[in-house]
Amino acid sequence: MKHEIEIPDLPEGWEAVAYRVPKAGECYFGSSGIKLALKDFENLWLVVRKKQPSRIVLEEVEAGFGKVEFFHDRRYWKIVEDGK
């Protein structure tokens, strides 16, 4: 079972990954903000990563062709790939 908690001081665009010992090259959330671990740590920290933007690929279609998700300026598109 997963539980979500809110971390009030975590900067926008970052998400918590785990509470464990960070490895070299991982980012962690410390007392003075987000830092990059330059070496393996010995203490537990909140390991974080930058959120990846969503990716949606659209394909232009003719009006009346199947399911049309978007319409703008007499052009129609449907979603081909949704990275969610």
Q: What is the pLDDT of residue 64?
A: 63
Residues 6+ apart with CB under 8 A from 66: 78
Q: Sorting pLDDT into bands at 50, 70 and 90, what band is 65?
A: low
Q: Which tens digits make up the pLDDT trace of 3-54?
A: 778 888 889 889 999 999 999 999 999 888 999 999 988 899 999 999 887 7
C-alpha span between 75 and 82 (Å, rounded): 20
Record the tokens describing residue 45, joined without a space.
Answer: 């920290």
Closest CA to 82 of 53, 61, 62: 53
Q: What are phi and psi of 70, to 5 degrees?
A: -135, 145
Predicted confidence (pLDDT) at residue 84 exceeds the cutoff of 60: no
Residues 6+ apart with CB under 8 A from 63: 76
Q: Sorting pLDDT into bands at 50, 70 and 90, what band is 83?
A: low
Domain residue limits, the chain: 14-50, 53-84
Only one residue has tokens 């969610």, namely 84
- pTM value surpassing 0.85: no
